[in-house]
């Protein structure tokens, strides 16, 4: 049995799968395939034991016994009974069953577990007249069954209890960091190599000392599970005790040899109870007097650097905010940490696990890399820093929160691509094409996004005929719109493809489902494009250049920020200095905000919708413009233009394609009415004034013959087409229009 190859599934927290795959390779496992929250591999029983003893990243080591269809309870029962359970468990033994279900008819996990238990004990009762007992604490056999798409897989859990429980940590401290997550942080920070080069380890907010102890276990070559007294295989009937004894004896020898190699490892915490607990944990792990832990506030962090002769690794897991500390306290804490790092720790490496990603910007240091990890169900961001001046953020630099979008998306590509084959997809081949396209588009855009600090962008626009959706990224959120499918596509097919798209987007972009918003986009007429889709009233802040805008992903068809007008708004900002600005059909006032930021002496925004004018006011206030010089007027633009006597130096005219708003005298058709609108707007221009006219009507034809005889026209369509819309060159048309004067600008 020692040379027999077994198929194994090794579980791990999401985000750590690639690291676990590398670890398993060093242990000699073969056919290694990372999947979602785990790694498939093949190995001998000896290697399975080695994973249980030496893996710093695994949760469980699962040995599959059988796979069979189980669309109903009876099929589940019969399938479990096909396994010879007396080959694994004594009739007088104890067992526990855990059951999970996904996309299956049996979705009640307690019922499923009872059915599996009944099948096992009934088999023993039939053959032996007795049955094993159920024990939830350290059973002789831990059975796990996972039902996916009505197909059941039965596993033996060789670990028995999660391998993150090393056996050294005492209970009692709030919000503990799981040991295998701590190990993953250290591996991401390249701690073993740094230690080998003579660097030390410092945690200024060490809590119960998990990061320090895991760091010591690594560099001292101590098997992380050496202290455990329970594994799921110890009373398994096929357990090879001799193999296990040999492995643990070798691990003890390696531990004694490795303790002499420990570099300086120090921790501090303001909580004296946490320090006491950390010292007890370090002693239990075998590092008494090897790890120095003291009670000290973060303000004394500069002093803690003195014992280190050379730059080392500072690693910490500050309070998350969900359970510890108020927002104001945490902002101050992160700011204090950032100040100390920039001032006293230049040349060091640093890793900060930010449970609340909004706090990352308080460090005022750009992260070199950002990884998404999970401490249990809690999503975290691991920020990796080089403490050198080129990474320090200037006063006007974008905060860490925004950079997370680029880094986390980019870093996740290779890791998530391997997981796609495990997703519950209706059209796996087509879905893989969509995933590949998203990865390709993101790769093509990534340098531009980082160079120009673009926070909101279009990632995908119906590139593939099978997936006619638009995917826009707004910092940490994704807005997906499905084009209404043609009548030639069956409803069931369209719906299943949409579900595939939603699954792929969350996987590739590594976002929680709650950050994905979906709508069906149909051809709109008149007021439809502005009508409410929902009544949630949830707004989110996003950045564009120097501006901050409020967007809404649920209540309206559009979000309040037209991404294809990004360069147009930038141009308005550049032209606005010293000018009086008029925004016609102002919508949510984003162009008005950019003009104000560009130094416009005054702004006037006209729109027939009271709702959108209120939104525009919110955008102005959010960017610091509360003065009377920024007017918001509810009116039909055409009527207002014929009545006003004010002149303007810069006008932005971006009408809807069609409108039958009750505030209009009749209807507005941009193709039919654009000539009159432009002429009315030009009358309100100063002699050297500029009119920017834009439309998203793809079949629009400007009446150049009539206008060119009176005005100077410059087509800016290509100049205002952003990089992320290069695949959709007809997204809008734009012109710069001026009066024909000698002093024309």
DSSP string covering 141-171: EEEEEEEETTEEEEEEESSSS-TT--S-PPS
CB atoms within 10 A of CB 249: 10
Q: Indicate whether 40 pLDDT > 90.
A: yes
pLDDT at residue 333 in the model: 86
Question: Bridge-partner residues for 733, per DSSP?
Answer: 695
Burial degree of 378 (CB within 10 A; 0-12, 13-18, 19+): middle
The encoded tokens of residue 456 equal 């909101």
What architecture does CATH give domain 179-226+260-414?
A: 3-Layer(aba) Sandwich (3.40)
pLDDT at residue 357 in the model: 64
Burial degree of 245 (CB within 10 A; 0-12, 13-18, 19+): exposed
pLDDT at residue 368 in the model: 86
Higher model confidence: residue 457 or residue 362?
457
pLDDT at residue 610 in the model: 92
The encoded tokens of residue 211 equal 């990061």
pLDDT at residue 523 in the model: 47
Q: What pLDDT band is residue 172 in, cutting at 50, 70 and 90? A: low
Higher model confidence: residue 670 or residue 415?
670
Report the top-level CATH class of 6-157: alpha beta
Higher model confidence: residue 396 or residue 609?
609
What is the rounded CA–CA span in Å between residue 640 and residue 607? 10
CB atoms within 10 A of CB 331: 17
Least confident range from 100-114, 272-286, 423-437: namely 423-437
Q: Indicate whether 486 pLDDT > 70.
A: no
Name the one residue in this structure whose structure tokens are 């390709």: 440
pLDDT, tens digit (0-9, with 9 covering 90-100), for 117-140? 999 999 999 999 999 999 989 999
What is the rounded CA–CA span in Å between residue 737 and residue 714? 6
CATH 3.30.750.80 domain extents, the chain: 423-522
Q: Indicate whether 530 pLDDT > 60.
A: no
Q: Indicate whether 393 pLDDT > 50.
A: yes
- SS3 of 520, please? strand
pLDDT, tens digit (0-9, with 9 covering 90-100), for 659-674? 766 555 668 899 999 9
DSSP secondary structure code for residue 562 in this structure: -
- B/e letters for 136-159, b = 16+ CB within 10 Å, e = fewer, are eebbbbbbbbbbeebebbbbbbbb
What is the rounded CA–CA span in Å between residue 69 and residue 78? 10
What is the rounded CA–CA span in Å between residue 618 and residue 605? 13
- SS3 of 663, please? coil
Q: Indicate whether 557 pLDDT > 70.
A: yes
What is the rounded CA–CA span in Å between residue 677 and residue 655? 9
pLDDT at residue 30 in the model: 95
Q: Indicate whether 745 pLDDT > 50.
A: no
CATH for 423-522 (3.60.40.10, 3.40.50.720, 3.40.50.2300, 3.30.750.80) = 3.30.750.80
Q: What pLDDT band is residue 55 in, cutting at 50, 70 and 90? A: very high
Higher model confidence: residue 579 or residue 271?
579
Average pLDDT over residues 4-26: 94
pLDDT, tens digit (0-9, with 9 covering 90-100), for 304-317? 998 998 999 999 99
- Residues whose CB falls within 8 Å of the CB of residue 482, separated by 6 or more in sequence, listed in order: 468, 469, 498, 501, 518, 519, 520, 521
Least confident range from 323-327, 469-473, 510-514: namely 323-327
DSSP secondary structure code for residue 87 in this structure: G
Q: What pLDDT band is residue 423 in, cutting at 50, 70 and 90? A: low
What is the rounded CA–CA span in Å between residue 508 and residue 494? 21
Q: What CATH fold (topology level) applies to the domain 540-739?
A: Rossmann fold (3.40.50)
Least confident range from 252-256, 366-370, 589-593, 600-604: namely 366-370
Alpha helix positions (H), 509-555: none
CATH 3.30.2130.30 domain extents, the chain: 6-157
Name the one residue in this structure whose structure tokens are 């007890």: 280
Least confident range from 327-331, 366-370, 456-460, 589-593: namely 327-331
60-69 and 94-102 beta bridge pairing: unpaired
* Greatest mean pLDDT among 172-181, 312-321, 437-446, 661-670: 437-446
Average pLDDT over residues 265-286: 93
Average pLDDT over residues 428-434: 77
CATH 3.40.50.150 domain extents, the chain: 179-226+260-414, 540-739
Name the one residue in this structure whose structure tokens are 């999660």: 162
What is the rounded CA–CA span in Å between residue 119 and residue 85? 10
What is the rounded CA–CA span in Å between residue 730 and residue 721? 9
What is the rounded CA–CA span in Å between residue 355 and residue 376? 12
Average pLDDT over residues 446-473: 91
Q: Indicate whether 263 pLDDT > 50.
A: yes
pLDDT at residue 403 in the model: 33
Question: Bridge-partner residues for 349, per DSSP?
Answer: 313, 386
- Residues whose CB falls within 8 Å of the CB of residue 557, separated by 6 or more in sequence, listed in order: 519, 521, 524, 528, 529, 530, 531, 533
The encoded tokens of residue 120 equal 């096992």
CB atoms within 10 A of CB 610: 11
> How are the residues of the chain apportioned to helix, strand and coil, as percentages rounded to the nearest 5?
40, 25, 40
Q: Indicate whether 562 pLDDT > 80.
A: yes
Least confident range from 63-77, 328-342, 610-624: namely 328-342
Name the one residue in this structure whose structure tokens are 């740094």: 194
Burial degree of 296 (CB within 10 A; 0-12, 13-18, 19+): middle
The angle, 0 to 180 degrees and rounded to 10, between the axes of the packed helices 590-597 and 566-575 is: 40
Average pLDDT over residues 168-181: 77
Average pLDDT over residues 315-343: 77
- Residues whose CB falls within 8 Å of the CB of residue 394, separated by 6 or more in sequence, listed in order: none
Average pLDDT over residues 175-179: 80
| 480 close to 471: Cβ distance less than 8 angstroms | yes
Q: What pLDDT band is residue 537 in, cutting at 50, 70 and 90? A: low
């Amino acid at each position: 049995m020692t040379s027999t190859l077994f198929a194994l599934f090794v579980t791990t927290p999401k985000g750590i799968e690639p690291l676990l795959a590398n670890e398993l390779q060093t242990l000699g496992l073969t056919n290694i395939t990372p999947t979602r929250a785990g790694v498939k591999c093949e190995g001998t029983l000896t290697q399975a034991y080695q994973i249980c003893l030496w893996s710093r990243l695994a949760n469980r080591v699962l040995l599959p016994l059988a796979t069979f269809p189980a669309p109903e309870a009876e099929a589940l029962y019969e399938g479990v009974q096909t396994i010879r359970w007396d080959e694994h468990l004594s009739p007088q033994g104890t067992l526990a069953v855990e059951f999970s279900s996904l996309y299956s008819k049996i979705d009640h996990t307690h019922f499923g577990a009872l059915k599996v238990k009944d099948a096992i004990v009934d088999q023993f009762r039939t053959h032996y007249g007795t049955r094993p007992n159920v024990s939830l604490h350290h059973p002789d056999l831990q059975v796990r069954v996972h039902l996916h798409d009505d197909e059941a897989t039965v596993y033996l859990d060789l670990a028995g209890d999660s391998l993150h429980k090393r056996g050294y940590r005492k209970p009692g401290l709030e919000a503990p960091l799981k040991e295998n997550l701590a190990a993953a942080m250290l591996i991401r920070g390249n701690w073993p190599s740094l230690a080998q080069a003579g660097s030390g380890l410092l945690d200024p907010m060490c809590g119960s000392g998990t990061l320090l102890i895991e760091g010591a276990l690594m560099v001292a070559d101590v098997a992380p599970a050496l202290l455990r007294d329970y594994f799921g295989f110890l009373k398994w009937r096929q357990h090879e005790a001799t193999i296990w004894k040999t492995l643990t004896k070798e691990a003890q020898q390696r531990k004694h040899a490795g303790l002499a190699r420990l570099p300086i490892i120090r921790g501090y915490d303001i909580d004296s109870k946490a320090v006491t607990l950390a010292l007890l944990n370090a002693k239990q792990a075998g590092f008494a007097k090897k790890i120095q832990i003291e009670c000290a506030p973060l303000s004394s962090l500069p002093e803690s650097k003195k014992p280190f002769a050379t730059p080392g690794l500072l690693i910490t897991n500050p309070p998350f905010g969900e359970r510890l500390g108020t927002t104001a306290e945490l902002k101050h804490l992160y700011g204090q940490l950032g100040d100390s790092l920039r001032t006293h720790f230049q040349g060091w490496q640093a890793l900060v696990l930010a449970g609340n990603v909004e706090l990352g910007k308080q460090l005022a240091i750009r992260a070199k890399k950002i990884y998404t990890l999970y401490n249990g169900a809690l999503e975290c961001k691991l920020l990796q820093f080089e403490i050198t001046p080129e990474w320090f953020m200037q006063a006007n630099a974008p905060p860490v929160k925004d950079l997370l979008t680029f880094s986390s998306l980019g870093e996740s590509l290779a890791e998530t691509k391997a997981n796609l084959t495990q997703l519950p997809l209706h059209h796996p081949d087509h879905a893989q094409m969509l995933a590949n396209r998203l990865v390709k588009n993101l790769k093509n855009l990534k340098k531009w996004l980082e160079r120009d600090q673009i926070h909101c962008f279009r990632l995908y626009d119906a590139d593939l005929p099978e997936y006619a959706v638009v995917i826009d990224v707004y910092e940490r959120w994704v807005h997906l719109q499905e084009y209404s499918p043609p009548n030639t596509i069956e409803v069931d097919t369209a719906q299943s493809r949409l579900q595939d798209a939603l699954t792929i987007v969350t996987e590739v972009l590594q976002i929680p489902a709650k950050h994905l918003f979906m709508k069906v986009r149909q051809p709109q007429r008149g007021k439809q494009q502005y009508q409410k889709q929902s009544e949630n009233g949830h707004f989110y802040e996003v950045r564009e250049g120097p501006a901050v805008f409020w967007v809404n992903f649920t209540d309206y068809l559009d979000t309040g920020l037209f991404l294809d007008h990004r360069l147009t708004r930038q141009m308005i900002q550049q032209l606005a200095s010293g000018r009086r600005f008029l925004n016609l059909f102002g919508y949510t006032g984003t162009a008005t905000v950019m003009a104000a930021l560009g130094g416009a002496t005054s702004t006037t925004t006209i729109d027939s919708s009271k709702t959108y004018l209120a939104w525009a006011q919110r955008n102005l206030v959010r960017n610091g413009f509360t003065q009377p010089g920024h007017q918001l007027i509810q009116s039909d633009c055409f009527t207002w233009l014929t009545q006003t006597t004010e002149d303007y130096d810069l006008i932005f005219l971006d009408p809807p394609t069609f409108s039958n708003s009750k505030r209009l005298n009749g209807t507005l058709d941009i193709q039919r009415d654009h000539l009159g609108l432009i002429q009315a707007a030009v009358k309100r221009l100063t002699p050297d004034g500029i009119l920017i006219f834009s439309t998203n009507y793809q079949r629009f034809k400007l009446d150049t013959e009539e206008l060119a005889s009176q005005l100077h026209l410059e087509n800016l369509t290509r100049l205002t087409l952003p990089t992320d819309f290069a695949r959709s060159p007809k997204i809008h048309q734009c012109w710069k229009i001026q009066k024909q004067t000698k002093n024309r600008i």
